[in-house]
Structure 1
């Protein structure tokens, strides 16, 4: 793995670490509704393997080839060159497009460790790293075809609380929200969109699913990897964007 890939993995891990506290207490987004074609994302998770739908350890996106790429997801993948071992239960999946949208098929870890399979770096990611990271805001994909935004309707209050993960790093001003935070994914050429709501009740936490939204422009697919939750936990969804 090249240093740029390691940097991407490091930034990725840092964003996950920063969001962990929010994810742990946030209610998560509901499955959603809209005018885009959204399908369940079939996922085969071998017994004992980490899930590619985890919000606390989102998978890395990897690709092979440039013109007609093959995409992979890997959870818990190490970097042997730098002495970082695979996590217990590390797993890998090939993203397989189909007539409806796509599915995730497990593959051997060795398949994603081949030299021609590379981590999609921050610079190569079709979505800027800031997408869906902030409490409110919007971003546009690098090809200007997809817009992702978060907005909030409700009330806010502030209070002085303990800073840091354990509240031991001094007092900070914290904002608590009561209302509905909406995540919108819009296909700009068609104007069609998908909306998911997150209910917040006097909460300082919120979901930051930037590493769980994966845009695959060559296939006109968007993978939602545990962005929404249902009665059975994290859900996988696949958006098939309109042809254009």
Structure 2
């Protein structure tokens, strides 16, 4: 009983790093909800799905896919249990996500989009504050913070007992802005922090598909604790 009580006290002493999460986006870019139906026991494409693409033999736009737990053809390893895959199908409004067999993403013609090929550089929406521009110079993603910062030393390690480390606690509002530079239309998402040293970094939840003029927000924001799936139809070039 004594050891159990000691462990509980250690947990209370550990630094709180739970991020609040960005709220629903608002702004002038046209936003459409995405319907994502995930079977029981299957992995969701929200927040951390991998992006795959298949080049067209006719010179048309590539076909994009999302894979959750799918290794793909490049890695000679099995998929994760519950792996799922979706094809991104353009529609008049935006896109729909159509389930496909994960085995499709293992065919040689379908390749994972590597970091160096990603239309959005890896640092986009990753840091507490910062700005980045898409590789085609059409999108700018900026994260800013307004509020108070408090430097502190907290216990390190899982239980907060392995020495001390420097950290910063934030109270205020982080704003993630996504701007379509040619049109100057913008979406803004806000995260409210209350004496927190954790924050959201949704870089893998934002997928830019330049050939389709679409931007997918796959769990980049949430409402009532549930991740949202949304699609932005970007203005014509």
TM-score band w.r.t. shorter chain: 0.7 to 0.9
Q: TM-score with structure 2 length normalisation?
A: 0.87
Which residue does 1:128 correspond to in 2? 121
The 3-state SS of whatever aligns with 2:65 is strand
Which residue does 2:179 correspond to in 1? 186
Q: Write out aligned runs for 1:75-90 (5 A).
A: 75-78=68-71, 84-90=77-83
Deviations 1:35-79 (A, max 9, x none): 0001101223223211101x4xx0100000054200000001136
Q: CA deviation at 1:162?
A: 2.4
Which residue does 1:98 correspond to in 2? 91
The 3-state SS of whatever aligns with 1:123 is helix
Q: Select the residue among 142, 160, 166 that pairs with 2:153.
A: 160
Q: CA deviation at 1:232?
A: 6.2
Which residue does 1:41 correspond to in 2? 34
Q: 5+ unaligned residues in a row in structure 1: which ranges? A: 1-21
Q: 5+ unaligned residues in a row in structure 2: which ranges? A: 1-14
Is contact 1:181-1:197 (8 Å) kept? Answer: yes
Which residue does 2:195 correspond to in 1? 202
Q: Write out aligned runs for 1:53-72 (5 A).
A: 53=46, 55=47, 58-65=48-55, 67=59, 68-72=61-65
Q: Select the residue among 205, 229, 233 that pairs with 1:236.
A: 229
The 3-state SS of whatever aligns with 1:148 is strand
Q: Size of the alignment, in residue pairs?
A: 220
Q: TM-score with structure 1 length normalisation?
A: 0.85
Cα distance change on mapping 1:188 and 1:79 into 2, 3 Å:
closer
Distance 2:122 2:180 in 1: 18
Cα distance change on mapping 1:221 and 1:80 into 2, 3 Å:
closer
Which residue does 1:5 correspond to in 2? none
| Bigger shift: residues 70-79 or 170-179 | 70-79
Cα distance change on mapping 1:199 and 1:49 into 2, 3 Å:
same
Which residue does 1:117 correspond to in 2? 110
Q: CA deviation at 1:165?
A: 4.6
How much is the aligned-residue C-alpha RMSD, in angstroms? 2.0
Q: CA deviation at 1:86?
A: 1.6
Larger radius of gyration between Structure 1 and Structure 2: 2
Q: CA deviation at 1:192?
A: 0.5
Q: CA deviation at 1:88?
A: 1.4
The 3-state SS of whatever aligns with 2:211 is coil
The 3-state SS of whatever aligns with 2:117 is coil
Is contact 2:73-2:108 (8 Å) kept? Answer: no
